[in-house]
Amino acid sequence: MPALRVLYVIDSLAPGGAETSLVELAPGLVGSGIDLHVLPLGRRLDLAYRLEAGGAVVHRRATASGRVGNIRAVLDTIRAVRPTIVHTTLFEADVAGRTAARLRGVPASTSLVNDSYGASHRAESPAARLALARGADAATARFATRFHAISGAVADAVSPRLGLRRELVDVIPRGRDPRALLFRPDATGHRVRAKLGLGDDVPLVIAVGRLEPQKGLQHLIAALPAVRESVPEIAVLLAGKDGRSGPSLREQAAASGCDVRFLGHRSDVADLMAAADVLCFPSEREGFGGVLIEALAVGCPIVATGIPTTLEVLGSEEDAVGVVTPVADPRALSAALVAVLTDPATAQARARLGRARFEERFTIERVSHEMVAFFERVEAT
């Protein structure tokens, strides 16, 4: 039987959750016999070299930009590659990739990676623009054979919004390589703190994510003055690309009187978490939250909002391997951070349970096998 040839269309290869997860996944797919070709529609190719090192073929588009140009780029690549399946991730890739696949008669599938078109999304975007996007998404979704959702919450929420039959959506989480994520590597923590000019005794909180409203970083900063009453020397690292909330977050941080450091995008997030005393994950909505499974792997204690996708990673609120708080509640967030920072023994006990949960559910080997089976189902449909 010839190998499955998958053309994976994605918005770009700029560092981000979906892009990084594809890089993590590629070696497992290729090692399982899939002939993997990747077409980024945007000009950012930051992660291309890592994909190629993992055995994927990365195609550079030659046609013009814009939605029509995107469709032409996918059509040209289908003609050159002759894939068994076209798989798409993120909005522009979904619309262009599904359309081109239908025009060429190639089966298409899509990864659903965010809680799109819900209340939080509506609060962030102009209503007319969001309605147009949802219409294009739903219309082209009819061209896809099956869907992959990175969480059950995304599958359940997004399916009706796009008019999908739920039985066509398979839930497969993101994964990470346990060999690359050592549990509590003390030497790494010491080295990272020294580079940041922080002593080993400084209580250190990290939050990871683009500076966008949905990430809830404004709630973390609002919680800091109350945290500092109990933990005066607290320092906070914000690691993530700039975004719409950047200016307001910097202004808010300056007014808080706390040591808040904006690090920008970092390629060493796992090392930063190994140095931190707690990961704060205050998101209002997420498709999954890959940083959470990295924190589980390296043993960084977690304080996170109890959104459905977070609970799928950490467990139910009663037995979660992190501390769960309500959404948009700085008072509860401050209390949770103080509890973790002032009781390291309990925090580390949870962290050990977190590593066990990671090894059971979120290794890249397990996820790769499930994605290969997904692509086989798409081909067979």
DSSP per position, 68-125: HHHHHHHHHHHHHH--SEEEEESHHHHHHHHHHHHHHT--EEEEE-S-TTSHHHHHHS
Residue ranges in the chain assigned as alpha helix (H): 17-31, 48-53, 67-81, 91-104, 119-124, 127-141, 152-161, 186-196, 217-230, 246-256, 269-275, 290-298, 308-314, 330-342, 344-361, 364-380
Q: Which of 16, 9, 15, 70 is nearest to 39 (CA)?
A: 9
List, for residues 263-299, the tens digit of each pLDDT value.
999 989 999 999 999 999 999 988 888 899 999 999 9
Rounded to the nearest integer, the mean pLDDT of the chain is 94
Q: Is the pLDDT of residue 1 over 60?
A: no
Q: Is the pLDDT of residue 2 over 70?
A: no
d(CA 152, CA 170): 9
Which burial class, exposed, middle or buried, applies to 369 when counting CB atoms under 10 A from its CB (0-12, 13-18, 19+)? middle
pLDDT above 90 covers a percentage of the chain that reads: 87
pTM: 0.88
List, for residues 172-183, the tens digit of each pLDDT value.
999 999 999 999
List, for residues 220-270, the tens digit of each pLDDT value.
999 999 999 999 999 999 999 999 999 999 999 999 999 999 999 998 999
List, for residues 331-350, the tens digit of each pLDDT value.
999 999 999 999 999 999 99
Q: Give the bridge partners for 9, in sequence order.
A: 39, 88
Domains of the chain: 5-175+363-380 (3.40.50.2000), 178-361 (3.40.50.2000)
d(CA 290, CA 154): 14
What is the predicted pLDDT for the residue at 115? 85
